[in-house]
Amino acid sequence: MSQTTTTTPPRTTTLTTTMSQTTTTTPP
């Protein structure tokens, strides 16, 4: 899904990257 969002809007890519870091911080 990340790849699809990155292909659609460029601004959403930044939001997706930020959420990815938060998810990585939550679970080990």
In order, the DSSP letters of 1-28 are: -HHHHHHS-HHHHHHHHHHHHHHHHS--
Per-residue pLDDT tens digits for 1-28: 444 444 555 555 555 555 555 555 555 6
Residue-wise burial string across 7-20, b where 16 or more C-beta atoms lie within 10 A, e elsewhere: eeeeeeeeeeeeee
What CA–CA distance (Å, rounded) separates 14 from 21? 11
Please state the pTM of the whole predicted model: 0.16
Note the pLDDT of residue 2: 46
Rg from Cα positions in the chain: 10
User: How many residues comprise the chain?
Assistant: 28
